[in-house]
Chain A
Amino acid sequence: MTNPIGLQEFLIVSAMLFTLGIIAMLTRKNAVGILMGVELILNAANINLVAFSHFITKELSGQIFVMFVILLAAIEAIIALAIILSIYRIFESVETDTIKNLKG
């Protein structure tokens, strides 16, 4: 049984998602917006891993790694939001260009 959609289509969707994540990280000034760009990039990497696991290796190691990537994304979101909250407490803003003083 073959998949009617080829590997290339999934990879192109993943590449578009990755590009959008890069643009979000470059253009957003809000720190939470940058975090959302990172989530987009991690999702693009996950699509790649599952597609290679499905089309090329036919074993489950890629899917296991996607599980760990999702878990690390959760950890990263927790830590980043804690840092953003403490930045907000000091600077009253999370716009990255207003955070200039090193010893706030």
Chain B
Amino acid sequence: MTDILIYKIIFYCFSAVTIGSAAVVVFDKNIVRAAFALFFTLMGVAGLFAMLGADFLAGLQILLYAGGILVLILFGIMLTQRLVDVDIKSGRIQLLPSIIAGLILLFFMTIMIVKYKWNIATNVVYAYTTKSIGALLLTDYILPFEIASVALLAALIGAVMLARSKEK
């Protein structure tokens, strides 16, 4: 019994961290602080993955999102803001209509989620997923896997082409 209670407490902690820091990402005027709050959002999502039995994806989330994409975003902020002379606050537009539209959207999505009778399986399995994911990637999903590597290469070449300065 106490295990279940601890599990529930941990779930609500991860959810609160995720939603709270996502709110900071959205509503903070300082863009650098928003980027650092995104780190905690990604960590909370990794914790939710772990609670859903996806151990490999939790590690991948921390490695790729918090370690890779977030550093890219921080680079983007640092390279495009004059950090020394001007304050780095970023303006916002149409704040109130967006919040109202978002609340309406959330209201209807919540009604749909609660009312619908989900066809939930009776037992859930907790097993190590890394070996199965590796086997699936090289058998059933080999074509998307290879296409993804080609797409990554194309993205790297395209980024170099776009971002280099044109000097003659």
A-side binding surface: helix, strand, loop or mixed?
helix
Known contacts: A36-B35, A50-B57, A55-B124. The answer to whether A26 contacts B76 by CB under 8 A is no
Given the contacts A8-B113, A13-B15, A78-B72, A27 and B90 also touching, CB distance less than 8 Å: no
Given A63-B129, A77-B73, A78-B156, does the pair A5, B11 have CB atoms closer than 8 Å? yes
B residues less than 8 Å from A53 (CB atoms): 52, 54
B84 proximal to A (CB < 8 A) = no
Main secondary structure on B side of the interface with A: helix
- Using a CB–CB distance below 8 Å, which chain B residues touch chain A? 4, 7-8, 11, 15, 18-19, 22-23, 25-26, 31, 34-35, 38, 41-42, 45, 48-49, 51-54, 56-57, 60-61, 64-65, 68-69, 72-73, 75-77, 79-80, 90-95, 98-99, 101-103, 105-106, 109-110, 113-114, 118-126, 129, 132-133, 136-137, 141, 144, 148, 151-152, 155-156, 158-160, 162-163, 165
